[in-house]
Structure formats: structure tokens, C-alpha cells
Amino acid sequence: MKVFKFAICLLLLAATFGSLLLADHAYVLGNRVSVIDTATDRVVTTIGAGNAPQALAPTPDGSKLYVANYASDNVTVIDGRTDTVLATVPVGSTPTGILATPDGGKVYVINRMSNDVSVIETATDQVVATVSVGTLPSYAAFTADGTKVYVTSYVSGDVAVIDTALDQVIATVPVGGGPLGITMSPDGTRAYVAQDTAGQMSVIDTEFDAIVATVQVGSLPKKVTLSSDGARAYVANLGSHNVSVVETATNRLLATVAVGLNPYSVTLTSDGSKAYVTNYTGNSISVIETATHRVIATVAVGRGPLHVALTSDGAKAYVTNEFTENVSVIETATGRVSALVPIGGYLRAIVMADSQGA
């Protein structure tokens, strides 16, 4: 009887905390949403989305995933537990970015050609607000408490600050220089903006919504990645083929690390000891040792690598190759490519989640 009761307890725990017991799954955007089981490095299911899926965002609890479809002007809502489509939500013109609030109550969709942001309520999967922003909006980031979202607009050269309770723009910060990627500090007090045409990174004080520093980096910076403690910012400079490392306490340039051709993004390991850089036309990944600012490995992958996602244990790195339409799987301990996973279609994004919800 005791053994039977213990077995029942295990089943109840599995039902309640099943997501903690399963391996990571990688959700990859190609022509469809492909789900890779990282234990076997095989696609276990594919999910239909709209035309030209461009970006995806899971809710914090992993119960839903939202896919922005660039060419069909809508968002596909996927059940994170069953990997089935729950809804299709019409939004603005050419949605290219999407992110969920920290509490998972809303999803904000960046509509590039209609110059606005659609706000979806996740409880109903309905658009509850449409917020006009600058011209050609590109990227967005929330403050840590989720009370504000900052949206960069490339052509108008500004950052719109949206109050998420009101869903209204409460400030506009002029930055200039083609603002693209934006990243928030862990405490939410600073926003870091890559300025593509200016070759700079601007730092915004989120209390006063004003620029407090501008750091010269390399040519054509696309994105900014912060260390988990917020102490360092890593900027991928596509035009100068390097990565700028900035000390955020002083906004001082610490190092410039030469990498491969046209670096696009930087992904840090959970302990911050390594940075994985996608070299878009170099068809490789540069691995930077962050303690020494030195490239310790260069790993050949497919053509047009854009993004890297790491498993929760850090044992594997998954690289989306846009033009070879596959994912390279790198064993992080050895730097060896252990698998190539065919997907199909130009690969635009990847997130790591649990197939039963995170």
C-alpha cells in the first residue's frame, strides 16, 4: 500500500510539475514552426502558422507561444502544452517583432509598416489596443516590472515609451542614428540601444526617459546583449566585423573583439563565461571567453547564421542557418557540431522552451 501511495504521489507530481521533468524543446521559425527535441536532436512536430513567420514569443509560464507572421499581418497563437494552434489574431501591417509582458498578461506586436504596436490580451487572445509609434519600428524591451515598454523606430530615429497600464505613449526619446536592438538592464533602470547608422550605443535612464550616455562602438551595430548581472554590454557590429564590450557602470569601452564576417547577434551562457557570436556571412560562430575578451573557438555552421539558443544545462547551442534552412547543434564542451537538423524555409527565430510549458 505504501508503494502504491508513493506511485500515486509521483504521478500527481508529474502532472503538476511535468514541465520540470522534460527535456528542452527548441521552437524554430521556418515555413512552419518546427519543434526540436534536444534529447534526440530531431523534429518531433511541426505547427502551421501564417505567411512568412518572423518572430515568436512564449508567455513566461510557457503555456502559449505567439508567432508574428510578416506577410499575412496576423499572429498565430500556439498551445505550449499540446503544440496546437489556438487562434489567429489579425494585427497591423508586417509584424516583425513580438514579446510578452513579464506577467504574461499581454503580448506586444511590432508592426513595421503601419508604424504601430498591437496589444493582445493573452486571456482572450484579442487585440485590446493599437498604439502609434515612430516610423519603421523595429525592436522593443520591457522594464523589469513590466510597467513600460520601449520601442525603437529606425527611420524616425527615436524610442517610444509606452505605459503598459494605459497602453499609451508617455514619452518619446530622440536618439538618432537608426536605432535597432534594445536591451533592458536587469533592474530596469537603463535601456541600451544600438544605433545602426551612427555606430553608437545610447543609454536611456528609464526614470526620466532621457539619454544619459552615448558610447562609440563599431560600424553598423545591430543588437545589444547584457550579462546576467548587467555589468557588461556586448554589441555585435556587423560592418566592422567585431564585438564591442562596454562596462555599464562607467559606460566605458573595455574591449573590441575581432570575430568573423558580419556578426549579427551575441548570446551569453548562463554563467556568463562565454559569448556565442553569429557571423552572418562568415557562416560561423565565434566563441568569446568573456574573462579575457579572446576568441577561443570558431565553429563552422550553415549559411547565414542568425541566432543561437542554449539548452538549460548549457550543454548544447542551437544555431539557425537562414539560407541552408537547417539548425546546427554545437556541443559546447567540445565545440563540435554534433547534428544538423533540417527545417525548411528561411530560418528567422528560435526559442528554447518545454513542450509542456516552461
Tell me the pTM. Answer: 0.91
Cell matching residue 267: 548570446
**Cα separation, 340 vs 321, whole angstroms:** 10
Decide if pLDDT at 149 tops 80: yes
Model confidence band, residue 226 (pLDDT cutoffs 50, 70, 90): very high
**Arithmetic mean of pLDDT, 84-98:** 97
Residues whose CB falls within 8 Å of the CB of residue 177, separated by 6 or more in sequence, listed in order: 157, 195, 196, 197, 198, 199, 200, 202
Task: For residue 218, give the nearest of 258, 185, 187, 160 by alpha carbon.
Answer: 258
User: Pick from 120, 112, 33: which is nearest to 73 by CA?
Assistant: 112
Share the mean pLDDT of the chain. 92
Q: How many CB atoms lie within 10 A of CB 179?
A: 32
- Ramachandran quadrant class, 277 (left: phi over 0; alpha: psi -120 to 50; beta: rest): beta
Specify the residue for cell string 499581418.
73
Look up residue 104 and give its DSSP letter.
Answer: S
Cα three-residue angle 257-263-267, rounded to 5 degrees: 80
**Cell, residue 247:** 562596462
pLDDT at position 190 is 98
The grid coordinates of residue 189 equal 533602470
Does pLDDT of 76 surpass 90?
yes
- Give the residue among 270, 273, 274, 226 at the shortest CA–CA distance from 251: 226
Q: What is the pLDDT of residue 333?
A: 93
Residue 213: pLDDT over 70: yes
CA atoms within 13 A on the CB side of 6: 3
pLDDT surpassing 90 at residue 5: no
Under 8 Å between Cβ of 57 and 104: no
- Position 6 pLDDT exceeds 70: no
Can you tell me the mean pLDDT for 259-268?
Answer: 98
Contacts 24+ apart (CB under 8 A), 277-283: 277/236, 277/243, 278/236, 278/305, 278/306, 278/307, 278/308, 278/319, 279/241, 279/305, 280/238, 280/304, 280/305, 280/306, 282/241, 283/321
Residue 335, judged by CB atoms within 10 A of its CB (0-12, 13-18, 19+), counts as middle
- In contact, 159 and 193? CB cutoff 8 Å: yes
At residue 19, the pLDDT reads: 34
pLDDT, position 37: 95
pLDDT digits over 37-46, tens only? 999 999 999 9
The pLDDT confidence band at residue 353, using thresholds 50, 70 and 90, is confident
Q: Which domains are present in the chain?
A: 31-132 (2.120.10.30), 259-358 (2.120.10.30)
Q: What is the mean pLDDT of residues 205-217?
A: 98
Q: What letter does residue 323 receive in the DSSP assignment?
A: T
Distances, alpha carbon 169 to alpha carbons 110, 120, 131, 161, 163, in Å: 14, 17, 7, 5, 6
Beta bridge partner(s), residue 279: 263, 284
Confidence of residue 7 (pLDDT cuts 50, 70, 90): very low
**Is the separation of the CB atoms in 127 and 66 below 8 Å?**
no
Q: How does pLDDT run across 237-249, given as a tens digit for each residue?
A: 999 999 999 999 9
